[in-house]
Amino acid sequence: MSAYVVLKGGQRNVLSLPVDAVIRGANGATVWVQSGKNTFKNKMVTIGMESGDRIEITYGLSQGEAVVTRGAYLINSEFIFQRGSSPMAGMKM
């Protein structure tokens, strides 16, 4: 039998992104951040609670960074296609 649970509490001021902007893998969660004109770099992030189509980012992003919210999987796939490996291979958080 399934049940739907709604938890109500105080509001929190958090950084959140659309769920599609965060790429989750065996090594953790990553996002693509603009590093220059038409250039992007991959950053590891720590994720928190997820609600609907939003996910909380608890660590890894700084204020003012431009995050790819549409097309992150396309950029990630192109990177893997060109480099032949995971963008986070060998990286530690």
**Which sequence spans correspond to the domains of the chain?**
16-83
Amino acid 92: pLDDT: 46
CATH class as words, domain 16-83:
mainly beta
| CA torsion angle 93 75 37 54 (round to 10) | -70
Amino acid 75: pLDDT: 86
Residues 64-82 have a mean pLDDT of 87
**Side-by-side strand order, sheet with 23-25:** 16-18, 54-59, 39-51, 28-36, 23-25
Six-digit token pair at 89?
A: 């291979």
Q: pLDDT tens, 6-64?
A: 777 777 788 999 999 999 988 899 999 998 898 899 999 999 988 889 999 999 998 88
User: Half-sphere exposure (CA, 13 Å, Cβ side) for 15?
Assistant: 16
